[in-house]
Structure 1
């Protein structure tokens, strides 16, 4: 069974399944993270939705690059969790199926290409306390601290 983090799903809402991939990226004692300014300011693990027809690993490489500007290597799947949330940027309620990977940041290729995102470096302890959702915080506390 995949653990759930965050609010309990509401019975009056129809949720759309939204698979996503996210990365814990340790480098030099810190973690490579992304700060999303809009629609809600939030410190996040780099990652995002898997597009139709896209493999999870291709999505992971694409999303990390878009949100941080970095390339990655050696992704290793750690596990998954579910969250039930409203996604204002898409205007729908989602059951987010979040698969978490550990990967190695290789090198920066440029600034983030995703609007409203900036690269942030933080210690694993700070990330485990400050990440925007409890599922991400749990995985960082378990695998990176």
Structure 2
């Protein structure tokens, strides 16, 4: 059974499955996170949806690069969670199945290419307070205690 976080599904709503991959990226300066400005400003673990036909690890590399500008190495799956949410950018209700990895941030190649994203290093204790969803916080807490 996959951990469910956040609000339960709403009665009468139809949810489509949205598979996604997200990375915990530790370093000497803390945790590399992304700040997404739209649709609601929030701090997040870098990551996102898997495109049709895309391998999850390829999606993880692509999403982390788009949202942070960093290349990563040695991703290792540590768990998964699901949450039910409305995705205004796609105008749909989704059951997001989020697979979480831990990986090594290797080096930056420039700013994020994803519009509205800013990459920043955050101390782990601050990230545990600031990350925008319970699933992200749960897995960061699992890794760092």
Fold match by TM threshold 0.5:
yes
Q: Distance in 2 between matches of 1:116 and 1:108?
A: 18
- TM-score of the superposition, structure 1-length normalised? 0.98
Q: Distance in 2 between matches of 1:14 and 1:66?
A: 30
SS at match of 1:138: helix
Q: Distance in 2 between matches of 1:82 and 1:93?
A: 13
- In structure 1, the gaps of 5 or more residues are none
Q: What stretches of structure 1 move > 2 A for 4+ residues in a row?
A: none
Residues 72 and 103 in structure 2, CA contact (< 8 A), matched pair in contact too: yes
- TM-score of the superposition, structure 2-length normalised? 0.98
Aligned length: 145
- In structure 2, the gaps of 5 or more residues are none
Equivalence for 2:53: 53
Residues 72 and 105 in structure 2, CA contact (< 8 A), matched pair in contact too: yes
Q: What is the RMSD computed on CA atoms of the aligned residues?
A: 0.7
Equivalence for 1:116: 116
Deviations 1:41-79 (A, max 9, x none): 000000000000000000000000000000000000000
The alpha-carbon deviation at position 144 of structure 1 amounts to 2.6
Q: Distance in 2 between matches of 1:42 and 1:120?
A: 12
SS at match of 1:86: strand
Q: Distance in 1 between matches of 2:117 and 2:144?
A: 23
SS at match of 1:38: coil
Equivalence for 1:31: 31
Q: Distance in 1 between matches of 2:143 and 2:129?
A: 14
